[in-house]
Amino acid sequence: MRTFLGVLSATAMAVSLAAVAPAQALSGPQPGNSGVTASAAATAAADRFGMRDRFAREITRYGDADRSVYNIDHVYELQYRLRWRGVYDGPVTGTFGTQTRQAVKRFQRREDIRVTGVAGHQTWAHLLRDTVRHRGKVPRICKSAGWHACYDRKMHQVTLWHGGRLKNTWLVRGGSYTHKTRTGNTYVYYRNKDHHSQLYDSPMPYSQFFDGGQALHGSATMVNPFSGHSHGCVNMYIEDARQLWNITHDKRLRVSVYGAWD
């Protein structure tokens, strides 16, 4: 599993996104080349990002795969979202192969993004923004003042809002038919970064409890968010739960659970 980077250097991000600026442009102005220099500098600045940024994801590229709960490259998510945008009709396998790379390129062309076949920050930002499902059914309270994590049980989707602005979205799974995640509006009342369930003898990293024993947390069993269920909690990829934790652990976070059970 790729280690999350707090803030990537401009040069590293430029390489990852295949938007490499000429070396002379990065080293300073060259005779007769001031326009290129300014353009390269602007591109490098735009490519600098951190995982707390809006719609941030790690870079996903050819050869990556979601191999285990501790080795998630967000390929399942990428394939689902590309399918929802109508640019991918291949199988959802969790492995980034040729078909997925071609779908990323089709999406980049459609969005007027530099065509690389690599899902970098800009590609993810466009894709996440464009694939928030049933956006019109997000409760009004989620768009009010403050921080809100809103879980749509039907869509397997958590959206994060601040002051009425959508900040990010993640694919998740909720409780089974006999252990449903309860609907309603609550606040996170307890947090534990290293929580371990005594009832189920299972790790629950980055737990944020919002309703009894139900919490948003990293899952020790989820690889495909549309496969299986929890015992009532909102299961996230461990990396995603850490991302949510880093953004909200010191905030008053309201949690809204809505939508039909799935």
CATH code at position 65:
1.10.101.10
Task: Indicate whether 136 belongs to any domain.
Answer: no
Residue 140: per-residue pLDDT: 97
Q: Which amino acid is at 60?
A: T
Q: Do residue 184 and residue 238 come from a single domain? A: yes
Q: If we measure between CA atoms, which residue out of 2, 9, 4, 21 comes closest to residue 63?
A: 2
CA distance 160 to 140: 13
- Domain final residue pick, 66, 101, 131: 131
150 with 170, same domain? yes
Do residues 60 and 88 both lie within one domain? yes
Helix axes 34-47, 121-130, angle to 10 degrees: 60
Say whether pLDDT at 98 is over 60.
yes
Q: Is there a single domain that holds both residue 170 and residue 114?
A: no
pLDDT > 70 in the chain, percent: 82
Q: Is the pLDDT of residue 8 over 60?
A: no
- What confidence tens digit (pLDDT) does each residue in 134-190 have? 999 999 999 999 999 999 999 999 999 999 999 999 999 999 999 999 999 999 999
Residue 79 identity = Q
Q: Tell me: do 249 and 181 sit in the same domain.
A: yes
User: Residue 25 falls within a domain, yes or no?
Assistant: no
Q: Is 146 in the same domain as 253?
A: yes
Q: Are strands 184-187 and 157-162 parallel, antiparallel or unpaired?
A: unpaired
Helix (H, G, I), strand (E, B) or coil at 171: strand
pLDDT band with cut points at 50, 70 and 90 for residue 73:
very high
Q: Does residue 171 share a domain with residue 122? A: no
Per-chain mean pLDDT for the chain: 87
Same-domain pairing of 125 and 194: no
Domain assignment present for residue 36? The answer is no
Q: Tell me how far the alpha carbon of residue 27 is from its chain's centroid.
A: 34
Domain count, the chain: 2
Helix (H, G, I), strand (E, B) or coil at 12: helix
What predicted TM-score, i.e. pTM, was given to this entire model? Answer: 0.82
How many Å apart are CA 160 and CA 168, to the nearest integer?
A: 5
Do 180 and 243 share a domain, yes or no? yes
Length of the chain: 262
* Structural domain containing residue 96: 51-131
